[in-house]
Chains A and B, each alone.
Chain A
């Protein structure tokens, strides 16, 4: 099976742009969709990006997703950072059995 590797933490200032990476260890990143979840302390996760780059209704367009075949990674980009964006972010994809595989999560600090 493969692993999804994320940076443990990132930080950026309000109003700036931050990108969180999610690198697949084996197999192509493009072979299965990638989702991104936001989890605030004490709350359940919510989906902010699905199917690589789609935003659920209600998620601001400051959130965007992409995949890069050359680095075999997916990215979540948040522009115009707000303090409310401070949270843990997880990427997720599927293995050959359609089971979910999560990245280890990235703590975003907006300072």
Chain B
């Protein structure tokens, strides 16, 4: 069955970087795009960007341009989201979500809590 398993919770200091992983299984990794969405405590959903695991191409929300990098490792069927220059407002649960081109996601990861605190 399809599974997206994300890495565990992280605590980071302001100014640091965090790298969250999302390991896919149960389907052909390169056949589906992967989106990243975050949710600050008590807040709504915020789209961060998308990666095509087939060629590695990416597209990021303007808000995160220059601070976010999405990569993939096809040998382990894993996508990564790295966010740099962390600030307290980046404290959130980060989700990966699988979708085909221009369609709604059908599977989500369980979420990874990133806490930014001095």
Contacts and interface: CB of A to CB of B under 8 A. Distances in A.
Interface residues of B, number: 20
Given A97-B59, A100-B35, A47 B106 contact: yes
Given A99-B59, A105-B44, A44 B106 contact: no
Nearest to A32: B102
A51 interface: yes
- Could you say which of A51, A97, A98, A100 has the most chain B C-beta atoms within 10 Å of its C-beta? A100
Given A35-B104, A44-B110, A102 B46 contact: yes
Contacts, number: 50
A101 B37 CA distance: 11
A99 B102 contact: no
Range class of the A interface residue count: 20 to 34
Contacts of A35: 104
A45 interface: yes
B47 A44 contact: no
Given A44-B109, A47-B105, A50-B104, A99 B47 contact: yes
A100 B44 contact: no
A80 interface: no
A47 B45 contact: no
B103 interface: yes
A57 to B, nearest CB: 10
29 contacts: A44-B95, A44-B108, A44-B110, A45-B45, A45-B97, A45-B108, A46-B108, A47-B104, A47-B105, A51-B103, A51-B104, A56-B104, A56-B106, A90-B45, A92-B47, A92-B104, A94-B102, A97-B59, A98-B59, A98-B102, A99-B47, A99-B50, A99-B59, A100-B35, A100-B37, A100-B47, A102-B46, A104-B44, A105-B45
Interface of B: 35, 37, 44-47, 50, 59, 61, 95, 97, 102-106, 108-111
